[in-house]
Amino acid sequence: MDGTRRFPSRRRLLQGAVAAAVPATLASTNRATAQAWAVDYPLAEWVPASTSNYTASSRPTSYPIDYVVIHVTQETYADTLAIFQNPAKRVSAHYVVRSRDGHIAQCVRDRNIGWHAGNWTYNTRSIGIEHEGWIDKPQYLTNAMYEQSAALTAAICATYDIPMDREHIIGHQQIPGSDHTDPGPYWDWSRYIRLVNFA
């Protein structure tokens, strides 16, 4: 040794930084890939329901998907997700739409049967979308919620060849045998169907 201090070259420092960044980049990519794989609607966040709260299936092979059922949660967004994740609750919907910004969580894959309609035949043949809010509080029905939900419904209808009309996009209260009244009197069906058709 000649007693002078040697520092790594700039090139070696850059190579080291790139090598250190690669695992983090791969981990991030793997998370994004897993997220993309888990959802049927690319703009949704995957927040899985408990497997005790839906029936595994292979729709539309096992059952045709003919309807989209519109719900209002009667709970907050966070509480709805927690209910779907609680195995004792025995309930789930495929998607939940947040009021303030229209953010969408997917809780059950489309191929599986959500327990949302209270009628087995309709459960097997539909996709359920819950909307954060209460049927007597119209302030929860925001523009963002309508727009994001309509885009989701349009994508579901396009994927499963469901007509974009009130015969096939129905409210929970329309399910035979249902005692529910959601989405309630403030849900603007004309606006919603129009948004779905123009999404």
Q: Which of 130, 132, 147, 167 is catalytic?
A: 130
**Which one-letter amino acid corresponds to residue 182?**
D
Q: Locate all alpha helices (DSSP H) within 86-185, ordered by sequence.
A: 120-124, 143-160
CA dist., res. 45 & res. 27, Å (int): 18
Which residues are CB-contacts of 24 (< 8 A; sequence separation ≥ 6)?
A: none
> Can 147 be counted among the known catalytic residues?
no
How would you label 114-136 residue by residue, b for 16+ Cβ within 10 Å and e otherwise? bbbbbbeebbbbbbbbbbbbbbe
Report the catalytic residues.
130
